[in-house]
Amino acid sequence: MPSGMGENMKIAVGQFAVGPDWQDNVSVCTELMAQAVAAGASLLVLPEAVLARQDDMPDLSVQSAQPLSGAYVAQLCAASRNNNLTTVLTLHTPTTSGRAANMLIAVRAGEIIAEYQKLHLYDAFNVQESRLVDAGDDIAPVITVEGMNIGLMTCYDLRFPDQALALALQGAEVLVLPAAWLRGPHKEKHWETLLTARALDTTCYVVASGECGNKNIGQSRVIDPLGVTIAAAAEAPALIFATLDRQRLVKVRERLPVLKNRRFAMPQLARNRPENKD
């Protein structure tokens, strides 16, 4: 069978505590990339906002923002140049003075193959991501890895089922989610429930990486299209592996054809919020 058209795909999910020094963080990312390659993985998902973070400096991620042409991404691209691993993560890139975008990138074979600016900013639970971060306008592209279609989302996007459904209706078979899910009352339960719900809503595999540390829960997960968790991490740094089975996906979609059974059209995601006419 030709390369890239197999029935199974091995994937990796890495989680770690992002620190204040971007050089240290990119070293962790490239080491996880090397371990994933050595294990035969085709896809590696890493957390959200991996450039820089410090507990007592909540704005450090934005203050440390680098363009996609900067040194951080250059090292990721260099680490990917001689292999076929696709690595997905997010980092902050500068927009206007003092502001940034939360940019998801997919890196493969020495270059960025996809970009996505986080659509839903985390203005909830007494946090206001939009204070310094600019939202994107469009859902991410669907990319292909080893013959499987991958839809891309970021953290808080998980709470918006229409975004996951839009990706599935565009052909996504796997939903990938870098995240930095904050600790708080019931938040671990929200994470588990929402990941499972998005898998069942879309009959997709869901592959989610959670940043760990003092403020975020970690708990990276891989969930199959019938809502079964097939791999998971706890709260500590980890690299976990799972195999995505195309035939499992096909059989689940035959048994649970929710994408075919839908009786209404998907509302188009608006590019901008409607104007207030009052």
Range 8-260 classified under CATH 3.60.110.10? yes
CA 192, 137, 57, 123 dihedral sign is negative
Q: Given a cut of 90, is residue 6 above it in pLDDT?
A: no
Which residues are part of the catalytic machinery? 48, 118, 155
Q: Given a cut of 70, is residue 272 above it in pLDDT?
A: no
As to burial, measured by CB atoms within 10 angstroms (0-12 exposed, 13-18 middle, 19+ buried), residue 47 is buried
Q: Given a cut of 90, is residue 87 above it in pLDDT?
A: yes
**With bands split at pLDDT 50, 70 and 90, how would you rate the model's confidence at 42?**
very high
* Neighbouring residues of 16: CB distance < 8 A, sequence distance ≥ 6: 28, 32, 47, 211, 212, 237
- Separation of alpha carbons 134 and 102, rounded Å: 8
Listed in order, strand segments (DSSP E) in 86-228 are 86-94, 100-108, 111-117, 123-124, 127-128, 133-134, 142-145, 148-152, 174-179, 205-210, 221-223
For the segment 88-99, what is each residue's pLDDT rounded down to a tens digit?
999 999 999 999
For the segment 146-196, what is each residue's pLDDT rounded down to a tens digit?
999 999 999 999 999 999 999 999 999 999 999 999 999 999 999 999 999
What pLDDT was estimated at residue 3?
37
For the segment 199-217, what is each residue's pLDDT rounded down to a tens digit?
999 999 999 999 999 999 9
**With bands split at pLDDT 50, 70 and 90, how would you rate the model's confidence at 264?**
confident
Q: Where are the domains of the chain?
A: 8-260
Q: Which structure tokens are listed for 99?
A: 């502001």
| C-alpha neighbours within 13 Å on the C-beta side of residue 117 | 15
Query: pTM of the predicted model, to two decimals?
Result: 0.93
